[in-house]
A and B are shown apart, each in its own frame.
Chain A
Amino acid sequence: MSTTTAPAAPPEQAPARRRFALPGSLVRNLGLVIALVALCIVGYVTAGDRFLSTDNFVTILRFAAVIGVVSIGMTFVITAGGIDLSVGSVLGLASIWASTLATQTMAGQVHWSIIVLTACLVGAGCGLVNGVLIAYGKVVAFIATLAMMVGARGLAEMISDKRTQIVTENDFLDFFRGSPLGVPMLVWIFALVAALGWVLLNRTTFGRRTIAVGGNPEAARLAGIRVREHTVALYVLCGLCAGLAGAMMLARTTAGSSTHGTLYELDAIAAVVVGGTLLMGGRGTIVGSVLGVLIFSALSNIFTLNNLSISAQSVTKGAIIVVAVLLQQRFASRSLSSP
Chain B
Amino acid sequence: MVDADPFLTMQGIVKHFPGAKALDGVDLDVRPGEVHCVLGQNGAGKSTLIKVLAGAHQPDAGEIRIDGEPVTISSPVAALKLGIATMYQELDVVDGLSVAENVYLGHELSTGGLVNRRAMNSGARALLKQLGHPEIHASEEVGRLSAAGKQIVSMARALSRKARIIVMDEPSAVLDAEEVANLFRVVKEVTATGIAVIYISHRLEEIRQIGDRITVLKDGRSVATGLEVSDTPTLQLITLMTGRTVEYAFAARPHVDPEAPEVLVVEDLGLEGVFSDVSLSVRAGEIVGLAGLVGSGRSEILETIYGARRSSSGRVRVNGKRLAPGSVPAAVRAGVGLCPEERKSQGLLLDEPIYRNITLSTFARFARGSFLDEQSERRAAKEQIAALDLRPGDPNRDARTLSGGNQQKILLARWLEHGCRVLVLDEPTRGVDVGARAEIYALIARLAAAGTAILVVSSEIPEVLGLSDTVLVISEGRVVHRGPARDIDEHRVLDLVMEGRAA
What residues of chain A have their CB less than 8 Å away from a CB belonging to chain B?
1, 12-14, 17-18, 20-22, 203-208, 211-212, 215-216, 218-226, 282-283, 334-339
A205 touches which one: B338, B367, B397 (CB < 8 A)?
A: B367
What's the Cα separation between A220 and B160 when bound, in Å?
Answer: 42
Across the interface, do A211 and B352 meet the contact criterion of CB distance under 8 Å? yes
Across the interface, do A218 and B346 meet the contact criterion of CB distance under 8 Å? yes
A-side contacts of B401, CB under 8 Å? 338
What's the Cα separation between A211 and B349 when bound, in Å?
Answer: 9
A223 touches which one: B18, B360, B397, B400 (CB < 8 A)?
A: B360
- B interface, size bucket: 35 or more
- Taking chain B's interface residues, is the majority helix, strand, or loop, or is none over half, making it mixed? mixed
B-side contacts of A334, CB under 8 Å? 18
Chain B nearest Cβ from A81, distance in angstroms:
12
B343-381 interface (Cβ within 8 A of A): 345-353, 356, 360-361, 363-364, 367, 370-372
Across the interface, do B347 and A219 meet the contact criterion of CB distance under 8 Å? yes
B363 touches which one: A1, A208, A282 (CB < 8 A)?
A: A208
Across the interface, do A221 and B372 meet the contact criterion of CB distance under 8 Å? no
Across the interface, do A224 and B328 meet the contact criterion of CB distance under 8 Å? yes
B398 at the interface (CB under 8 A from A): yes
Across the interface, do B351 and A282 meet the contact criterion of CB distance under 8 Å? yes
Chain A nearest Cβ from B332, distance in angstroms:
3
B-side contacts of A14, CB under 8 Å? 392, 394
B414 at the interface (CB under 8 A from A): yes
B123 at the interface (CB under 8 A from A): no
Across the interface, do B351 and A215 meet the contact criterion of CB distance under 8 Å? yes
B-side contacts of A22, CB under 8 Å? 396
Asked whether A339 and B349 contact (CB < 8 A) given A18-B394, A220-B360, the answer is no
A224 to B, closest residue via Cβ: B332
Across the interface, do B360 and A226 meet the contact criterion of CB distance under 8 Å? no
Chain A nearest Cβ from B426, distance in angstroms:
10
Asked whether A222 and B349 contact (CB < 8 A) given A12-B396, A208-B356, the answer is no
Asked whether A21 and B353 contact (CB < 8 A) given A1-B18, A223-B414, A224-B329, the answer is yes
Give 1 or 0 for each of B19-63: 1 = CB within 8 Å of chain A CB.
Answer: 110100000000000000000000100001000000000000000
Asked whether A339 and B20 contact (CB < 8 A) given A216-B349, A222-B308, A224-B361, the answer is yes
A229 to B, closest residue via Cβ: B329
Across the interface, do A221 and B394 meet the contact criterion of CB distance under 8 Å? no
- B20, B308, B345, B371: which has the most chain A beta carbons within 10 Å? B371
Chain A nearest Cβ from B99, distance in angstroms:
28
A-B contact pairs, 12 of them (CB 8 A): A17-B392, A204-B372, A205-B363, A212-B352, A215-B350, A222-B340, A224-B329, A224-B333, A225-B360, A282-B349, A283-B351, A339-B43
What's the Cα separation between A336 and B370 when bound, in Å?
Answer: 32
- A206, A219, A224: which has the most chain B beta carbons within 10 Å? A224
B349 touches which one: A13, A212, A226 (CB < 8 A)?
A: A212
